[in-house]
Amino acid sequence: MTPREAVAAIRAAAWRRAEAERQAVTTAWLVASFGRQKRLPSLDRLVPRAGEKKRAKTPEEQLAFVRAFAKAHNKRMDGV
């Protein structure tokens, strides 16, 4: 193994460890969050199905969202 390969392997191992820690914290947060809810959302809403793609929003839908967001946050939308 070359020094470059060794550094790449060490970085990959560090990334895997950090990713595992992030996943553990996320799981703990979700468990605590769900424990405070009276009703849980459906599993289909929480976990997307494999291979299922969301429909892309049209430009009109995107503009409507931006306008609603701006209105909710009192921002001016001059020229849009």
Res 69: pLDDT: 87
* Whole-angstrom distance, CA of residue 37 vs CA of residue 39: 5
* Whole-angstrom distance, CA of residue 75 vs CA of residue 4: 51
* Whole-angstrom distance, CA of residue 11 vs CA of residue 5: 10
Confidence of residue 78 (pLDDT cuts 50, 70, 90): low
Res 77: pLDDT: 58
Where in the chain are the domains? Answer: 3-46+55-72
Res 73: pLDDT: 82
DSSP characters over 19-43: HHHHHHHHHHHHHHHHHT-SSPPPH
Res 76: pLDDT: 61
Query: pLDDT tens-digit profile of 22-77?
Result: 999 999 998 998 889 888 888 777 777 777 777 788 999 999 998 888 888 875 65
